[in-house]
Chains A and B, each alone.
Chain A
Amino acid sequence: MPKQFVSRRQLLFEAGGGLSGLALAYLLDREDLLAAQSAGESRQTPLAPGKPHFAPRAKAVISLFMSGGVSHLDTFDPKPALRKYAGQPLAGRGEIVVRQGHPGPLMPSPFEFRRYGDCGMEISSIFPEIARHADELAFIRSVVGRSNDHVMAHYELATGSVRMGGPSVGSWVTYGLGSENQNLPAFVVIYDARGGPFGGPANWSAGYMPAVYQGTIFRSSGSPITDLKPPPSISDARQRARLDLLARLNALDEQRNPANSELAARITSYELAYRMQSRAPEAVDMEGESPATKKLYGLDQPTTEPFGRQCLLARRLVERGVRFVQLYHGGLGIQNLDTWDAHENIADNHTRHAAEVDLPISGLITDLRNRGLLDSTLVIWQSEFGRMPISQRGVGRDHNPGAMTIFMTGARIKGGQVIGSSDEFGYKAEEQPVSIHDLHATILHLLGMDHTRLTYRYQGRQMRLTDVYGVPVPGIIA
């Protein structure tokens, strides 16, 4: 079998395509690490910290994914024209493709918008806490997706392709940069207490890459990782005894097979597993956090507590060197109720879900800033698509991949700005359309990677997260 991380030639070939001095330097650095650990090509350290292509803005990402489809029209992209033309058909736009039922007339937002911050950003009344950070947030109001299907749209955001089976952004980032902490997984997924997002584990799959790059599910309470600890019937001392014997027997085996490099790697993996057993529970243990911090995230209120725990855990993980933390809000359960999928009633649905995330997200931004982590952490808020300016049964809104709004903060990006726009009704992106590939190129860029140079060789082709597309969004990276 090909040893994924052992052959230097293969490593060089897969990771960089040998295209630049920088990429080469980054690889050589990894090789040093390999060499330092043991003679020959034995130790497998696929997650050793890697050097980016150029000076990065951020070294970690916290991705806040609002599953179900947030309406841009009712949150961050106000459309006065909807009030003016309320009740009239959206005419002259060709056939309107809806996901459910039949097209309705234009419907204004049930929420008021107010201006916030020095920049005067218009934000809906359901996000009063996030609005306090208006001057630090960069909105993109012209993001365009390719599918009006929840799952395919999730996959596009996750992997760049609406088809199932590609490596996720988190996998690409950890493939490119490794991890700062070898005792924790590099790419962590924390989903809603109500259940996973649309599309399930394929959202954090490593696709055709090795399993080490796939996202590891963390729970925000209890034992954080599957199989992290043995059941209570096996005491620590007993497990220690087993591990000791295992180490001694494996060492004997290694002596008998000195030429075999796989053996050392497997021994190392057990050492790492053992360290993880102690470090991972510490990382999720929020008891030591001050009451003020807990309050900041809303842990003291039942509405905000669940997502607050997810956000606080994200900060703790980033603080400990985890590279990519993917949070999902909204999940398994009753689709129209437990996700942002507001077919039935936009006012009820979005009021409830905004209340669940508003304070925790605001708290996360404040806390990251107070701890000096915001400048080195990219926080990105997104959903799988926007929603329709026309109503569904007079009260809800259907899916709309033609326009959505996302925001970024941290990573020393320029806040208080809006990039791109949607048309006067918010039906389609208008100025400066931004594709999901563009978004991915931007994320990689902020992490110091050129999306055209981060390649992985698969079936004879240098694969990219952005396929053959994508341009970093100029306003963000400027």
Chain B
Amino acid sequence: MLAPRPLFLFLAISVCAAAPVSFEKEIRPILEARCVKCHGAAIQLGKLDLRSRRSALKGGEKGPALSPGNASQSVLFQRISGLGKPAMPMDGKLTAAEVDSIREWIDQGAVWEGEIGKTAANPLKALEDSPLPPHAGDWWSFRAPTRPPVPLVTDAQWANNPIDAFIKAALDARRLTPAPRAGARTLVRRAYLDLIGLPPSPAEVRAFLDDKRPDAWARLIDKLLASPHYGERWGRHWLDVARYADSNGYEHDFDRPNAWRYRDYVIRAFNRDTPYNRFLEEQIAGDEVDDVTNDTLIATGFLRNYAKVGFREKDNPQFRYDYLDDMIATLGRGVMGLTVHCARCHNHKFDPILQRDYYRLQASLFSYVEVDYPLVSKARAEEYQRRNAAIDARLAPLKRRIAAIENPYKLLLVRQKYEKFPANVREAIATPEERRTPGQSLLANQVIRTTTVSSAEVEPLLKPGERALRDGILAEMRNIERERPAPIPMAMGIADGDYRFAPDGPGDEPAPGKGMRREAAEGSYRPDPGKPYVPPPSYFLYGGDMYSHGSTMRPGFVTVLVKGEPPVESPPPGRHTSGRRRALAEWLTSADHPLVARVIVNRIWHHHFGRGIVPSLDNFGHTGDMPSHPDLLDWLAVEFRERGWSIKNLHRLIMNSRTYQMASSFGDARDEAGDADNTWLWRFREQRLEAEIVRDAILTVAGTLNARMEGPAVFPALPRESLESMKNGIWRRQKDGPETWRRGVYVYRKRGLPFPFFEIFDLPDQTITCGRRNVSTVATQALALLNNEFVLEQSRLFADRVRGLSSRPDEQLRLAYEIALSRPPTDKERSLGLEFLQHNSIEDLTHVLVNLSEFLYMR
């Protein structure tokens, strides 16, 4: 799809009359090797079977595959030549000679002898066992990084930090001039926005300007890395990768009342500087590690963040395969920078990722079930369950007594409801069951099984004595309910188990005719403590079709990336789990994994510089971008790993470089001409604040930010039309005020309704993993900043803040600039501003300041 193939070349080559093509020698081998694995005995994708001439002529969903005598009219030829889409075969293309042979063969009448596949060895086996192409491991990112030598640069300013040496060497090679160091005010603002996502206060700016120690900058970075706001800022980046949201998505868009604990875990992990290898291990196998804690159990929410349909999994296993696919896509793109999920139905089209690799990875994850972990001691959790069970036991006889009162009326009302149906329905119900016609049985069954009566409907019919009796019982029940223990905190995670025995949950609607119930005979959802745990089997699925089972799959990894002996599952003794996810985590974080360290250092680099060394953060494969500075990337990856996978250390390394401290305002005609995109980093790249940070920054300058950390999400006010457009799920009507003026990372992430103020500032889709957000500049952003009630109110509060500090217009002007932009106004700005304030209020000015480009960009 990337490079246009010069099709006309081989279409035009052989115009001369050709010798008859031998089906046996030339065509059969092609069909056997390349076609029948998907269009043959195993499966017939697109309903096309290419085993015989008859079946090929009959064709599939796209009509006959062959038009004998006319290759260009034959779908088969169109697809293999690339003239028709999708091009075939799915996993690579035929050679020009092969395409030629098939064209001639069809033009000559498509003579066909016998049936394909009869002579071939097991065609299914061939599909599962397809080998890696030769030299598959040669691609740059599939080779493990080794530490390259740091280039020697003569410029002393650029020789202290290895990052600078790599960058300067690349600039020198292209005769590009690097920008000078940015001014101190720009730098302090940059550091604050970058590391904690909040603009500095005038006092914080002053403190940095006054710090004349030589290591003032390094100290500032350390101070900001120690701030709890750091985790809120950098955890947010990871939450995009983790496709974190507070609701299920799809029809019901159910609330996930405990999802926020995972969000808080991520914030804590960044603040604690949890080594990245450990961070991955906790999220993939937090329930299987040696030292399980509440946090490691919460961390398993990473795999459970998938958007979910409200159907029973055991009845509708197709959805479970989609969730597994989403996990594989997230681990692939998010952790390995590879589109592994493309190998679900066929070998990957562009990268040497086998379909077998996909199903091995699936086997590593397949035993997962959804679990809500109590975050209290075992004793307390059991106590909680026991008390609830006791209350349920006391309620049960009372419920029965109420039913005894209500049931006669319910029966009466049901019969009345039947009377409202048309004659044919009434007749069907009235007819004795054994005398009903088949159609009447269906009708009667439908109506009888779905006609219900609620207690509210019964209420008006009760006799006074009955009502008094019932009300007495209800009061008693309410009293008992009050004894229920307070809910214990729960985390939304995963564990090993057997999904085929899942209990019903909210939204599950067991009913005949709904989905495809396939139940194993015996087993339990969570492993039975008395028995050895056996994970449910998973299979190689031909064409990705859940019913086309191939071999049972063992856990495994992406073959081309496996160096040496990969880790194997070892069930932790005394625990009821397979150890499969732990083996996966061990493989990902092993020292010789070629991608994991590169991918994370590239993400960190991207968030500092606005662009990765590999710009396609989630794709290091053949269709991704090439690294601009491959040696630097490898050096950073090795350094990162060898220094204990510490992300905070990586920040220190990067931010203390000369490269990071360059000015963004630098303009150089030769640089512009030679590198307009700033690929080689001759200046700092100015970056628009992200959606949440725009709001955080406005709250900060208004002095209204509620800095409380962690806890359940907040629900800022929504425009009316957004509320009206939302069919399901929740958006708590919370009045805008200090309770909602918390950081954007705490705003409820509802899949069915992205928070509109964030959405216009390029909030990514909340259902799939995302590394790099879009950055657009559109009129609706301007409208929101000009007219949105939140922005206007904060501008007023910003004005109040300034008025509280001084009553003199010139002083107010200076303060407003210092607060909003971390600098005093220039002379020109001062005279413009004072003139403006003669006719307008300070709140007009503060509103203008939060609309300035300078306010919205990190420079």
Give chain A's interface residues, CB within 8 Å of chain B. Answer: 1-5, 7, 9, 17-19, 41, 44, 46, 87-89, 95-106, 149-152, 163-165, 185, 191, 195-202, 205, 207-212, 214, 216-217, 219, 225-231, 234, 238-239, 241-243, 245-246, 248-250, 252-254, 256-260, 262-263, 265-270, 272-273, 276-277, 331-332, 390-395, 452, 455, 459-462, 468-469, 471
Which one of B443, B511, B688, B852 lies within 8 Å of A105 (CB-CB)?
Answer: B443
B615 and A2 within 8 A (CB):
yes
A325 to chain B, nearest CB (A): 16
Contact A200 B752 (CB under 8 A): yes
B446 with A104: CB separation less than 8 A = yes
- Residue-wise, chain B 290-302 has the 8 Å CB interface mask toward A (1 for contact) of 0000000000000
Q: How many angstroms between the C-alpha atoms of A246 and B848 in the bound complex?
A: 6
List the B side residues contacting A469 at CB < 8 Å: 86
- Chain B residues contacting A230 (CB-CB under 8 Å) are 786-787, 792
Contact with A along B329-350 (1 / 0, CB 8 A): 0000100000100100000001
B338 to chain A, nearest CB (A): 9
Least CB distance from B106 to A in Å reads 21
Per the bound structure, the CA–CA distance linking A452 and B82 in Å amounts to 12
Q: Is the CB–CB distance between B782 and A270 below 8 Å?
A: yes
Q: Is B619 an interface residue (CB 8 A)?
A: yes
A185 to B783, CA, bound (A): 12
B666 close to chain A: CB less than 8 A: yes
Contact B443 A391 (CB under 8 A): yes
The stretch of B9-17, B150-158, B457-465, B722-730 that contacts the partner chain: B722-730
Q: How far is the CA of A252 from the CA of B854 in the complex (A)?
A: 11
Q: Is the CB of A225 within 8 A of B844?
A: no
Pick the interface stretch among B140-148, B166-174, B212-220, B828-836: B828-836
With a CB–CB cut-off of 8 A, which chain B residues contact A270? 779, 782, 786, 851
Q: Is the CB of A104 within 8 A of B442?
A: yes
Docked pose: A245 CA to B447 CA in angstroms: 70
Known: A4-B776, A249-B852. 19 other contacts (CB 8 A): A1-B688, A46-B778, A103-B446, A104-B442, A152-B251, A163-B307, A195-B727, A201-B754, A227-B784, A227-B787, A245-B844, A257-B665, A258-B667, A259-B665, A266-B782, A270-B779, A332-B724, A391-B446, A459-B618
The reply to whether B783 and A273 contact each other, CB–CB distance below 8 Å, is: yes
* A and B contact pairs by CB, cutoff 8 A, 16 listed: A4-B776, A17-B1, A89-B442, A101-B446, A152-B250, A152-B251, A164-B250, A211-B761, A225-B783, A259-B668, A270-B786, A276-B783, A331-B727, A332-B727, A460-B623, A460-B624
Question: How many whole Å from A273's CB to the nearest CB in chain B?
Answer: 4
One of B552-560, B706-714, B735-743, B765-773 contacting the partner: B765-773
How far does the Cβ of B557 sit from chain A's closest Cβ, in whole Å?
21
Q: B97-105, B433-441, B488-496: which one contacts chain A?
A: B433-441
Among candidates A19, A87, A152, A252, residue contacting B828 with C-beta atoms closer than 8 Å: A252
Measured between beta carbons, the chain B residues less than 8 angstroms from A390 are: 442
B853 near A393 with CB under 8 A, answer: no
Tell whether, in the assembled complex, residue B722 and residue A273 are in contact, meaning their CB atoms are under 8 Å apart.
no
Assess whether B653 is interfacial by the CB under 8 Å rule. Answer: no
| Given A89-B439, A256-B665, A245 contacting B725 (CB threshold 8 A) | no
From residue 601 to 656 of chain B, which have CB atoms closer than 8 A to chain A?
Answer: 610-611, 615-616, 618-619, 621-624
- Which of B350, B445, B787, B792 is A102 in contact with, Cβ under 8 Å? B445
Indicate which residue in B253, B342, B782 contacts A269 across the interface (CB closer than 8 Å). Answer: B782
Residue of A nearest to B825 (CB): A249
Q: Which residues of B contact A149 (CB under 8 A)?
A: 250-251, 309, 311
- What A residues does B450 contact at CB under 8 A? 101-102, 393
Most buried by B among A199, A226, A253: A226
Residues of A within 8 A of B676 (CB): 41
CB–CB B611/A245 < 8 A: no
Overall SS of chain A's interface: loop
- Distance in angstroms between the alpha carbons of A165 and B726 in the assembled complex: 16
In the complex, how many angstroms separate the beta carbon of B493 from the nearest chain A beta carbon? 22
A231 & B853 in contact (Cβ 8 Å cutoff): no
A18 lies within 8 A of B4 (CB): yes
Q: Return chain B residues, CB-CB under 8 Å to A256.
A: 665
Given contacts A1-B685, A17-B1, A201-B752, contact A241 B726 (CB under 8 A): no
**CB < 8 Å: which of A106, A202, A242, A461 contacts B439?**
A106
- Please tell me if the beta carbons of B832 and A248 are within 8 angstroms of each other in the complex: yes
Q: Does A165 lie within 8 Å of B768, measured CB to CB?
A: yes
B847 within 8 A of A: yes
Determine the chain B residues whose CB is within 8 A of the CB of A262 once the complex forms. Answer: 686, 688, 777, 853, 857
Residue of B nearest to A249 (CB): B852
Chain A interface: which of B190-198, B260-268, B419-427, B694-702? B419-427
The answer on a CB contact under 8 Å between B836 and A1 is no
What is the bound-complex CA distance between A273 and B853, given in angstroms?
15
Interface contact A105-B442, CB-CB below 8 Å: yes
Question: In the bound complex, what is the Cα–Cα distance between A245 and B830 (angstroms)?
Answer: 12
Q: How far is the CB of A441 from chain B (nearest CB, A)?
A: 11
B471 within 8 Å of A (CB atoms): no
Is B724 within 8 A of A196, CB to CB?
yes
Does B828 lie within 8 Å of A101, measured CB to CB? no
Partner pick for B848 among A96, A249, A332, CB 8 A cutoff: A249
B751 in the interface (beta carbon within 8 A): yes
Chain B: CB-nearest residue to A149: B251
B832 touches A245 (CB 8 A): yes
User: Which of A196, A395, A460 is within 8 Å of B726, CB to CB?
Assistant: A196
Q: Is the CB of A87 within 8 A of B437?
A: yes
Are B775 and A1 in touch, CB under 8 angstroms? yes
Residues on A with C-beta less than 8 A from B767 are 163-165
Given contacts A41-B676, A104-B443, A210-B762, contact A97 B515 (CB under 8 A): yes
Q: Which residues of A contact B848 (CB under 8 A)?
A: 242, 245-246, 249
CB pair A217 B721 closer than 8 Å: yes
A228 & B783 in contact (Cβ 8 Å cutoff):
yes
Min C-beta distance of B599 to chain A, whole Å: 13
Cβ contacts under 8 Å, A7 to chain B: 677
- What are the interface flags for B487-527 relative to A under an 8 Å C-beta threshold, 1 for contact and 0 otherwise? 00000000000000000000000011111000000000000
Q: CA separation between A1 and B87, bound complex, in Å?
A: 34
Name the B residues within 8 Å of A259 (CB-CB): 665-668, 672, 683
Name the residue among B253, B751, B760, B782 with the largest chain A CB count within 10 angstroms. B782
Residue in B439, B851, B857 whose beta carbon sits within 8 Å of that of A88 in the complex? B439
Interface residue from B438, B721, B845 paired with A245 (Cβ < 8 Å)? B845
Check if A103 sits within 8 Å of B792, measured CB to CB. no
Contact A468 B86, CB 8 Å, known A101-B511, A200-B725, A249-B832? yes
Produce 1/0 per residue, B151-188, CB < 8 A to A. 00000000000000000000000000000000000000
Q: Are B438 and A200 in contact (CB under 8 A)?
A: no
Say whether, besides A259-B666, A460-B624, A461-B623, A269 and B781 are in contact (CB < 8 Å): yes
| A393/B752 in contact, CB under 8 A | no
Question: Please, which residues of chain B bring their CB within 8 A of the CB of A214?
Answer: 759
The interface residues of chain A lying within 8 Å CB-to-CB of B856 are 266
CB of B25 within 8 Å of the partner chain: no
Residues of chain B with a CB closer than 8 A to A87's CB: 424, 437, 439-440, 443
B844 in contact with A242 (CB, 8 Å): yes
Q: How far is the CA of A106 from the CA of B439 in the complex (A)?
A: 8
Asked if B378 CB lies within 8 Å of chain A CBs, one says no
Given contacts A229-B787, A259-B672, A394-B421, contact A273 B779 (CB under 8 A): yes
Is B19 interfacial (CB-CB < 8 Å)? Answer: no
A197 to chain B: closest residue by CB: B727
Q: In the complex, which residue of chain A has the Cβ closest to the Cβ of B839? A: A241
Q: Whole-angstrom distance between the alpha carbons of A151 and B777 in the complex?
A: 31
A253 touches B686 (CB 8 A): no
- Minimum-distance CB pairs A-B, first 5: A196-B725, A259-B667, A460-B623, A105-B439, A273-B782
Q: Do the beta carbons of A97 and B514 come within 8 Å of each other?
A: yes
Report the separation of the CA atoms of residues A19 and B136 in the bound assembly, to the nearest whole angstrom.
Answer: 28
CA distance A247 to B685 in the complex (A): 23
Which residue of chain A lies nearest to B750 when distances are taken between CB atoms in the complex? Answer: A200
Q: Is the CB of A269 within 8 A of B447?
A: no
A231 close to B792 (CB less than 8 A): yes
